[in-house]
């Protein structure tokens, strides 16, 4: 299952039932889980560990050194979960500081030429469309969708089940369950289609819509808006997650 033109360091650890195609290059600190498939010309280098059943398409480059000019050497890592699809030309870079990892969860779909910079932390079931890019230290929660050419500023967060339209610029945190679009991005409404697809009830959607109006349309301070939502909006786990996300924002919230 390993093409004779692949270059694999003798210290690399390759799981059972892996397929490694022509001209792939694997460095000495690569750990590849069971059932992974690498198409041609894939480069895995640096300290990188992948779980099971990941499929990686040509010219992807994963695990190489951070592009951050603050990098001072040492062991930094990339950790990738299971069942991810990583398409052509995707780049994922290692963390910057000693002992830290860039992490990607499981069941994600990273389309062609997407970029995951140093120290990013991605959850599960995320879709990043072609040419979308994350700067350093970005956090993306589960089931988020980023359209093509979306650019996310360093240290921003993208919340659970958020959807961001193509060519948007994200310079502050994008709240969960919301639909954002524009350059810079603005919140348009709740992500109704995404919520429906994930079985969120109409009552909870109504509560999220009410919370959205209070938080992002009424011009209140963050503290006053949070207090008003807690007092007036029916409690639901999704509403509580939204409130916690807004309350803990470091860069401020997209409106």
Q: pTM to 2 decimals? A: 0.97
Residue 181 annotated in active site: no
pLDDT reported for residue 66: 98
The yes-or-no answer on residue 39 being catalytic is no
Q: Which of the four pLDDT bands, split at 50, 70 and 90, describes residue 61?
A: very high
Same fold flag, 7-189 and 196-247: no
Catalytic residue among 119, 123, 143, 147: 119
Task: Provide the pLDDT confidence category of residue 250 given band limits of 50, 70 and 90.
Answer: very high
**For 7-189, which CATH class?**
mainly beta
Task: List the chain domain ranges.
Answer: 7-189, 196-247
Q: Which of 29, 41, 93, 118 is catalytic?
A: 118
> What is the tally of helices (H) and strands (E) in the chain?
4, 27
The confidence score (pLDDT) of residue 3 equals 98
250 is catalytic: no
Residue owning tokens 């590849």: 32
CATH of span 196-247: 1.20.1180.10
Query: What are 115-130's pLDDT values in tens digits?
Result: 999 999 999 999 999 9
173-195 b/e (C-beta count within 10 Å ≥ 16 → b): bbbbbbbbbeeebebeebbbebb
Query: Please, which residues have CB within 8 angstroms of residue 98's CB and are 6 or more apart in sequence?
Result: 72, 73, 74, 75, 76
Band of residue 157 on the pLDDT scale cut at 50, 70, 90: very high
Residue-wise pLDDT tens digits, 163-189: 999 999 999 999 999 999 999 999 999
Choice among 136, 165, 180, 194 that is catalytic: 136
Q: For residue 39, how many C-alpha atoms fall within 13 Å in the half-sphere facing its CB?
A: 12
Token pair for 200: 């969120």
Distance CA 178, CA 159 (A): 8
């Amino acid at each position: 299952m390993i093409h004779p033109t692949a270059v694999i360091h003798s210290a690399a650890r390759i799981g059972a039932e892996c397929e490694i195609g022509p001209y792939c290059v694997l460095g000495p600190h690569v750990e590849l889980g069971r059932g992974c498939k690498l198409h041609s010309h894939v480069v895995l280098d640096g300290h990188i560990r992948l779980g099971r059943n990941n499929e990686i398409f040509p010219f992807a480059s994963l695990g190489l050194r951070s592009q951050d000019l603050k990098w001072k050497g040492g062991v930094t890592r990339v950790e990738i979960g299971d069942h991810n699809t990583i398409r052509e030309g995707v780049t994922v870079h290692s963390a910057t500081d000693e002992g830290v990892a860039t992490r990607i969860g499981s069941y994600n779909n990273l389309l062609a030429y997407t970029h995951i910079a140093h120290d990013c932390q991605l959850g599960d079931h995320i879709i990043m469309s072609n040419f979308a890019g994350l700067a350093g230290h970005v956090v993306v929660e589960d089931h988020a969708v980023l359209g093509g050419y979306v650019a996310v500023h360093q240290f921003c967060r993208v919340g659970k089940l958020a959807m961001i339209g193509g060519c948007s610029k994200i310079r502050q945190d994008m709240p969960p369950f919301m639909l954002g679009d524009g350059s810079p991005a603005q919140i348009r409404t709740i992500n109704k289609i995404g919520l429906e697809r994930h079985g969120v009830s109409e009552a909870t959607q109504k509560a999220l819509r009410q919370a959205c109006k209070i938080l992002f349309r009424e011009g209140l301070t963050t503290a006053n808006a949070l207090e008003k939502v807690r007092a007036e909006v029916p409690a639901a786990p999704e509403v509580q997650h939204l409130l916690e996300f807004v309350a803990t924002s470091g860069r401020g919230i997209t409106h």
